[in-house]
A and B are shown apart, each in its own frame.
Chain A
Amino acid sequence: MSTQATDIARRRRALHVGLTGALDEAQVLVALRLWDQAFAQQRPGAIIEFVAQLSSQLGLPPKQRHEMRMGIYQALLRYDAGREPIPETRPAGARGATNAVASLPATPLTSVRGPAEYAVFHALLQQLMDGLLRIEALARHDVIQSLQQQQGRSVLSSDLHSALIQWVRDDSGLGAYAAEPAEVLSDAVHALYVALCVAVGPVATDQLLARAVRAAEGLPEAARFKPQRLL
């Protein structure tokens, strides 16, 4: 990853630390979305404007707005400019890193139309992302960024790669690939695996993958097409 990309990721994490002290979890997600869309790449130094827009969007009272601004500056000074290690920003329940993955219950599987290969593929991806977001609520951004960096080097077609990114972003756009052969679907699982390794590390990713496979084995379609064939 380039130094610039590293700096952006670092600043974002520092910002996350600063926001966490002043906002609740849902508001933090809104704030980071605004940051990613309008500030992270274009105007990473425009903190006052970011605070103003966010306060207006969330309707924050002046006192909370002030606390948020101070929290952001302190975090940026300490972790971004000062280059100290940034503390983990997972939800409290997910601290303890990868052991949290093993104890995560599988989420209910949603059925999709298409061949057994696609049903199993979709379930695997769904479980992977679900597990990921439960241990690292803000990892979606990192996964998307990593997938974008893979584009061009990936064995996936450009269209499918873009569709995978879109699916990670908003859970849509993969249905058009339901008829793809298992080899192609396996490549897509691998692309997501690599992105997860970059986002949360290889140990957590392997555990998420094992959990996703176990969950996908519960599908009726798994009797005809084993999830392990997509690994």
Chain B
Amino acid sequence: MPGLRTPLLLLMALTPAPAFAGTLEAPADIAWTITAAALVFFMQSGFALLEGGMSRAKNAINVIMKNYADMCYGVIAFWLVGYGLMFGNNSGWFGSSHFLPTLDQNSDAVFFIFQLMFAATAATIVSGAVAERMRFTPYVISSMIVTGLIYPLYGAWAWGSYYEGEGWLRSMGFVDFAGSSVVHSIGGWCALAGVIALGPRLGRFAADGRARAIPGHNLPMVALGGFILWLGWFGFNGGSTLAASPEVGIIAVNTHLAGATGFAAALMTQRLLRQPILMSLGVNGAIGGLVAITAPCATVTPAFALLIGAIGGAISVLGASLLERLQLDDAVGAIPVHGFCGAWGTLAAGLFYKGDLFNLDRIVVQLIGISTAFLWAFPTAFLVFWILKKTIGLRASSLHEQRGLDFTEHAEIGYPEFQNDLTHGGKS
């Protein structure tokens, strides 16, 4: 397409330094990136609290176990193949070096640990959506495939490479500074595939199609989880500079503003829809705002950050409603928050690019990136879930749903003092 070449070259010239442009050799850069990696790691506890709190008491341990598995098995998959696929020498489509990396260079090790935390974040988005009915073993397998293949391959197109070569999306000028699409949409679309493959929880939808609420067992946990995620986001977005540079300041400001307006807009949307103003949807709105600002956090002004976050918050509420109408059971609202808001944030990065507002060429590139994320992650994840369903089985039996996955999958229950009535008494 020769006609596209000139605008694309211009786009590339205008695009800021990629997320990992720092050399990671200066002590301050290393200190900041490692701190940011720790903050992103801490987000796992936010996810665990939020998803655990939103599930029923009899499934809380199972959900938290899946969060642990995402982090721990994800490390293995990402180290084995994911890192090489994503950041190895890139032909445009995938990385082909640095598998089982030895990380001899200190800067490589710093970069690796930071990226490892991102990979685990993408995987853990799925666990909340499929909560309360997916068996643990197939979940772990799918999680490893997300961190070892689905996430890194898209990452190679959008962010590759750290060494030589360049991913095809990145070479077009695609902007996703910290991963609205690379991390969040990919996780969201994998979650959508899982939700469709699994089907809804027992009784989630009435015979006439009405959605029934299945309230979480601990809303204070949800609120605390939301705050921890928010805290972690400063590392997630701010750390993506890979340098202790002054631009971390504006990134942090934009991040915080978008989270705040996401929460406010979620409340206003509920109000406009004449729904009760739910805290759980408010927390999801804040996270929706944070997801949305993840791609454009370094390339928009604070005013646009406010707008991007607000639209993200509204999308998280409206998206949850849409899923209910479609009778798709997303236990925690992960698909609207990460999938839909991720797509919106990626588009917003093109729309509101500082100094180059509403550039149609840039918007087209962003749309290509958004649709590529869906067209790659959703069918691939669905195929993975379908194969698991046909081979080892994906879904817990209805008896296990009755007993709770804590007991049936792990032989442990979260709150033994309060769950005696419904805890299976053995033998039968």
Contact = CB atoms under 8 A, between A and B. Distances in A.
Contacts of A210: 421-422
B427 A229 contact: yes
A92 B327 CA distance: 29
Contacts of B392: none
A68 B369 CA distance: 59
Contacts of A229: 424-428
User: Which of B202, B208, B424 is the most central at the interface, judged by chain A CB atoms within 10 Å of its CB?
Assistant: B208
Given A13-B208, A190-B399, A231-B424, 10 more contacts: A5-B207, A6-B207, A6-B209, A10-B207, A142-B207, A190-B402, A201-B206, A213-B421, A229-B425, A229-B428
Contacts of A198: 202-203, 206-207
Interface string A5-48: 11001100100000000000000000000000000000000000
B354 interface: no
13 contacts: A9-B207, A10-B207, A194-B202, A194-B402, A198-B203, A200-B203, A202-B203, A202-B212, A213-B422, A228-B422, A228-B424, A228-B425, A230-B428
B35 interface: no
A75 to B, nearest CB: 14
Interface string B407-428: 0000000000000111111111
Given A9-B208, A86-B208, A186-B428, A202 B214 contact: yes
A193 interface: yes
B214 A190 contact: no
Interface of A: 1, 5-6, 9-10, 13, 85-86, 142, 145, 182-183, 185-186, 190, 193-194, 197-198, 200-203, 205-206, 209-210, 213-214, 226-231
Contacts of B398: 190, 194
Interface in B373-428: 398-399, 401-403, 420-428
B59 to A, nearest CB: 11
B367 to A, nearest CB: 34
Contacts of A183: 428
Nearest to A217: B421
A201 B421 CA distance: 19
Interface in B28-44: none
- Binding site secondary structure of chain B: loop
Contacts of A182: 427-428
Interface in B182-210: 201-204, 206-210
Contact of A231 (B204, B212, B422): B422
Contact of B215 (A10, A86, A197, A203): A203
A200 B428 CA distance: 26
Contacts of B421: 209-210, 213-214, 228
A61 B48 CA distance: 63
Interface residues of B, number: 29
B419 to A, nearest CB: 9
Contact of B403 (A5, A86, A142, A231): A231
- Binding site secondary structure of chain A: helix
Given A193-B402, A201-B203, A231 B209 contact: no
B131 to A, nearest CB: 13
A5 B209 CA distance: 11
Contacts of B423: 228, 231
The 4 closest A-B pairs by CB, nearest first: A228-B425, A197-B203, A229-B425, A186-B428
Given A86-B208, A214-B421, A197 B202 contact: yes
A206 B58 CA distance: 10
Nearest to B207: A9
Given A210-B422, A231-B423, A10 B208 contact: yes
A193 B397 CA distance: 13
A191 to B, nearest CB: 9
Contacts of A145: 207
A209 B206 contact: no
Contacts of A197: 202-203
Contact of B203 (A10, A190, A205, A209): A205
B318 to A, nearest CB: 17
A188 to B, nearest CB: 11
Contact of B207 (A1, A203, A213, A231): A1
A183 B428 CA distance: 5
Interface string B109-120: 000000000000
A200 B422 CA distance: 18
A201 B329 CA distance: 14
A6 B202 contact: no
A1 B425 CA distance: 32
A206 B208 CA distance: 21
Contacts of A214: 421
A164 B202 CA distance: 20
A231 B421 CA distance: 10
A194 B204 CA distance: 12
